[in-house]
Structure 1
Amino acid sequence: MTMELRHLRAFLAIAEEGTITHAASRLHMSQPAVSRTLHQLEAHLGVRLVDRSTHHLHLTDAGAAFRIRAATALRAADAAFDPRRLGTWPLRLGHAWSALGDLTAPLLRRWNETHPDTPLELLRIDDRTAGLTRGAVDVALVRGTFTAPGVRSVPLLSEPRVAAVPTSSDLAERPRLALADLTDQAITLNTVSGTTTLDLWPAAVRPSRVLEVGNTDDWLAAIAAGQAVGVTTAATATLHAYPGVVYRPLTDAPDVPVLLAWAEPPTHPAVTELADLAREVAREP
């Protein structure tokens, strides 16, 4: 059977929605039609892409590897049919929070100077890969260790971790803090796009109270309200000054690597040029 774009759209809808029911609603199709389309795609590839053993569907390893290929191919097809992109089209750079810290403006400025005909769009997308594995961006700034099938990444720099505490807290009076200083506090964790988990603490001093949030704005609001403290990187302190929140260096927490990642092959012809420029900017004093 000949594969069509509808097969990719159905698979990606299932991957993002987690159920056939929600995927069908999103695609304005019947559930049997979505299931049939998925079966056809799996039969063509000769592998199972989706684990159907639970109510909430999960991608198999093969499905996870295929997801970025499907998103890349669909994005390329949509771009090809978009009349607004008959000439040069924008290069989309995703980030989940804080972009490249205080190097963000220099990177954007240098790109505009050297590539005036290729707009660079900086997009905040609240997920771990800043929209890369969903095909929402061409290249992404990612914090922490990151590997995915069909994705290439290069390290740019490392950022020290800092504690974010309420200005009303006794902790705010100290010039620096250690992880153990936060043990008896509630910890707010950005479980959607953040890099901090409870594994950062040794088992003996691991906090017992956790407040989960889904984005940086809610994370900051919880700290400012005195509901919790948080751990982030120095880039957040640079770009996200917030009333009621102060940042203090953490003396015993490892740095966080910042990577630039993109699909291989790239979804935009200028991706590798951006990678070269980002590394150049990151190396400069």
Structure 2
Amino acid sequence: MELRHLRYFVAVAEEKNFTRAAKRLFIAQPPLSRQIQQLEEELGVELIEKGSRPLRLTEAGTFFHAHAQELLAKAAELKSMTQRVGKIDRTLSMGFVASTLYGLLPDIVRHFREQYPTVEVTFHEMTTMQQLKALKEGTIDVGFGRVKSEDPNIRRIVLREERLIVALPAGHPLALSDTPLSLVDLLMETLIIYPKAPRPSFADQVLGVFSERSILPHKIMEVRELQIAIGLVAAGEGVAVVPDSVQGMKRNNVAYRALTDRHAVSPVMFSVRKMDTSEELRNMLETIYSVYDRAGISYIRESL
């Protein structure tokens, strides 16, 4: 059984017609029919109900169709990822969530460029889930995100756990003191979360922190991105729980306060294609650890 057999069968199953499937595959109908017949003979089961109009799959055919689609998708991902790894030009394409730009990512990239000036570094702002898709499609080589999500084709390294803080409108009663706040203090506030989509996202991470304390905010407002959330906080529309590094986004009408809750943290994730151990990625990881050392940030060292 070869990949072409899977492609042929999936086309027939989706078109529910041999003639349309043959046109889609750019082959004649008789050879297509023979290929499906050979596939059934090899498997020893019928995949298509004989004489059905429109064409219907047997129970075995339905099972085979679902798994054939999955295998074809994995084959396509493998092709894209291998082509990216084998690219001759020395480039490093990075996906990142917006909040990492207010932390150490700019320092990391600057140091990397100083040490490896011949490597072209490009940037793509995208959510963590978009990064996973882009890695598999070969669009980027490394992603810096925050949401923990499992994918068999992606390796994820937790670089550090960053404290969460709360952004408040300047002049808000809770902003008048430097005393750290508790999540309970935010119970009656409008909680502004981001991004609105795609999910899961940092928004779900923040809601999860509240849920762990069995706290349900009085009102929740979902917005598209971090900058909009901070802008609405400045306008007095509510408060937002954000990573500590967002304090780098200086605004006169926004105050930041620490949170006392120990579990109020957000991981910074380093995501790469599984088994991709290219020199550029190894050097980037070492640069990250070097910057962390200089900043006195604790971490657990991993290698590719």
TM-score between the two structures when normalised by the length of structure 1: 0.68
Q: Residues 189 and 219 of structure 1 are in contact (CA less than 8 Å); yes or no, is this contact kept in structure 2?
A: yes
Which residues of 2 match residues 1-285 of structure 1 at below 5 A?
Answer: 48=66, 63=70, 70-71=76-77, 73-74=79-80, 77=83, 88-99=89-100, 101-125=102-126, 127-129=127-129, 131-135=131-135, 136-175=139-178, 176-190=180-194, 191-192=196-197, 193-195=201-203, 196-201=205-210, 202=212, 204-238=214-248, 240-254=249-263, 255-266=265-276, 270-284=280-294, 285=296
State the one-letter code of the partner of 2:257. Answer: R
State the one-letter code of the partner of 1:90. Answer: T
Question: Structure 1 pair 122/258, CA: closer, same or farther in 2 (3 Å)?
Answer: same
Question: Structure 1 pair 133/95, CA: closer, same or farther in 2 (3 Å)?
Answer: same
Could you report, residue by residue, the CA deviation over 1:215-238 in whole angstroms, capped at 9, with x for unpaired residues?
112211221221121101111112
Q: Residues 161 and 232 of structure 1 are in contact (CA less than 8 Å); yes or no, is this contact kept in structure 2?
A: yes
SS of 1:110's equivalent? Answer: helix
Q: What is the percent sequence identity of the aligned residues?
A: 20
Distance, in Å, in 1 between the alignment partners of 2:174 and 2:229 is: 18
Shift of 1:194: 1.9
Q: Residues 85 and 278 of structure 2 are in contact (CA less than 8 Å); yes or no, is this contact kept in structure 1?
A: no
Shift of 1:184: 0.1
Could you report, residue by residue, the CA deviation over 1:101-128 in whole angstroms, capped at 9, with x for unpaired residues?
4422321122112211112223211x22
Distance, in Å, in 2 between the alignment partners of 1:72 and 1:99 is: 29
Could you report, residue by residue, the CA deviation over 1:52-74 in whole angstroms, capped at 9, with x for unpaired residues?
xxxxxxxxxx95x9867744633
Higher helix proportion, which one? Answer: 2
State the one-letter code of the partner of 1:169. Answer: H
Distance, in Å, in 1 between the alignment partners of 2:163 and 2:67 is: 39
Distance, in Å, in 2 between the alignment partners of 1:74 and 1:170 is: 53
Question: Structure 1 pair 171/47, CA: closer, same or farther in 2 (3 Å)?
Answer: farther
SS of 2:233's equivalent? Answer: helix
Shift of 1:148: 1.8
Q: Residues 164 and 248 of structure 1 are in contact (CA less than 8 Å); yes or no, is this contact kept in structure 2?
A: yes
Q: Residues 186 and 207 of structure 1 are in contact (CA less than 8 Å); yes or no, is this contact kept in structure 2?
A: yes
Distance, in Å, in 2 between the alignment partners of 1:155 and 1:120 is: 22
Q: Structure 1: which 5+ residue stretches go unaligned?
A: 8-19, 21-31, 35-39, 51-61
Distance, in Å, in 2 between the alignment partners of 1:67 and 1:222 is: 41
Aligned alpha-carbon RMSD (Å): 3.6
Distance, in Å, in 2 between the alignment partners of 1:137 and 1:163 is: 32
Aligned counterpart, 1:15: none
Q: Residues 68 and 133 of structure 1 are in contact (CA less than 8 Å); yes or no, is this contact kept in structure 2?
A: no
Q: Residues 128 and 147 of structure 2 are in contact (CA less than 8 Å); yes or no, is this contact kept in structure 1?
A: no
State the one-letter code of the partner of 2:190. Answer: A
Q: Residues 138 and 268 of structure 1 are in contact (CA less than 8 Å); yes or no, is this contact kept in structure 2?
A: no
Question: Structure 1 pair 67/3, CA: closer, same or farther in 2 (3 Å)?
Answer: closer
Could you report, residue by residue, the CA deviation over 1:121-151 in whole angstroms, capped at 9, with x for unpaired residues?
23211x2245232333211112243322211
State the one-letter code of the partner of 1:177. Answer: L
Q: Residues 92 and 121 of structure 1 are in contact (CA less than 8 Å); yes or no, is this contact kept in structure 2?
A: yes
State the one-letter code of the partner of 1:275. Answer: L
Alignment: residue pair count: 235
Distance, in Å, in 2 between the alignment partners of 1:132 and 1:118 is: 23
State the one-letter code of the partner of 2:132. Answer: L
TM-score between the two structures when normalised by the length of structure 2: 0.64
State the one-letter code of the partner of 2:290. Answer: E
Q: Which of structure 1's runs of 4+ aligned residues deviate more than 4 A? A: 1-4, 65-69, 75-80
Distance, in Å, in 1 between the alignment partners of 2:280 and 2:164 is: 32
State the one-letter code of the partner of 2:218. Answer: S
